[in-house]
Amino acid sequence: MDDLREKYLTLISAAADEAALEELRVQAVGKKGEISLHMRSLGKMSPEERQVAGPALNALKDEVNSALNARKSAMADAALEERLKSEWLDVTLPGRQRPAGTIHPISQVWEEVTAIFSDMGFSVAEGPQIETDWYNFDALNMPGHHPARAEMDTFYTHRAEGDDRPPHVLRTHTSPVQIRSMEKMGAPMRIICPGRVYRADYDQTHTPMFHQVEGLALDTGISMANLKWCLEEFVKAFFEVDDVELRFRASHFPFTEPSAEVDIRCSWADGQLKVGEGDDWLEIL
């Protein structure tokens, strides 16, 4: 037994790779291996011989299997060490800088507008994008025959058959937020109402969904002069100019009196828009 032990332990320790180890395993403890054949011969021995040879063969088999496993683990550790030498990683190096992305232009404008009006004492008010017919039209003095209430101009929600209530609409402006805010807060009040609005309009210059910002100030002693000052201060801050010239043009809106459109002086020199100078006018409201 000592000869077999020394033989296989020496061969195992000298094995160069896993293939050689597997070959030694089959040769020693495989089904037809040398140690396995000795164990089969136990049946031909006398009881006294088996008592001596049996434990010795089992111990030899266990020792060979342990040596095979130990050698296999040592080979794996050595292979990993070699791999780490060739694929080293310096954990002290800074990580790669991935593109962090940028804020969407609409979100950027939204934040800038909110910040400017906040400096003038306005707070932000929000409301649902799916509105009742009353908040979107009736409360704003738009009668039932008004063109904006036609299905060709407004997205209406579906009503179940037999439901005679006015359908809800995708809000066509953020004005319903003003009505809800007045109901909830009363006066005095200074708010802006930014948000998405929807109209059944789609061409080169219009999309069915766009963004709008409305403002509302309720207090005593407020006039059109206050409105013009707010708009002038906003334009100066938003376009980063020191001086602007605004003009009001009389116009009609069913829910405001007096009503006006707002233009700002500008120029289009060399295809570039310059606000606050020039001979042209840009409609902003």
Residues 73 and 158 in one domain: no
Within a domain: 79 = yes
Q: Residue 195: which CATH number? A: 3.30.930.10
Report how many domains make up the chain: 3
Rounded distance, CA 65 to CA 36, Å? Answer: 12
Rounded distance, CA 18 to CA 12, Å? Answer: 10
β-pairing verdict for 260-267 and 246-250: antiparallel
The distance from CA 202 to its chain's CA centroid, rounded to whole angstroms, is 28
pLDDT at 270 over 70: yes
Mean pLDDT to the nearest integer, 254-278: 86
Residues 31 and 66 in one domain: yes
pLDDT computed for residue 197 by the predictor: 94
Residues 110 and 11 in one domain: no
Mean pLDDT to the nearest integer, 31-60: 79
The answer to whether the CB of 167 falls within 8 A of the CB of 208 is: no
Which is nearest to 173 in space by CA: 205, 149, 203, 202?
A: 149
pLDDT computed for residue 20 by the predictor: 85
The residues near 266 (Cβ < 8 Å, ≥ 6 apart) are 273, 274, 275, 276, 277, 278, 280, 281, 282
Rounded distance, CA 139 to CA 121, Å? Answer: 26
Q: What are the phi and psi torsion angles at 170 (to 5°)?
A: -75, 120
How does residue 179 score in pLDDT terms, banded at 50, 70 and 90?
A: very high
Please provide the average confidence, as pLDDT, over all residues in the chain: 86
DSSP state of 94: P
pLDDT computed for residue 36 by the predictor: 79
Residues 140 and 179 in one domain: yes
Within a domain: 236 = no
pLDDT per position as a tens digit, 137-176: 888 888 788 777 776 678 888 888 888 777 889 999 999 9
The answer to whether the CB of 231 falls within 8 A of the CB of 246 is: yes
Residues spanned by the domain of 29: 2-85
* Amino acid code (one letter) for 150: A
Within a domain: 62 = yes
Terminal CA-to-CA distance of the chain, rounded, Å? 104
pTM: 0.59
Within a domain: 91 = no
Residues 113 and 144 in one domain: yes
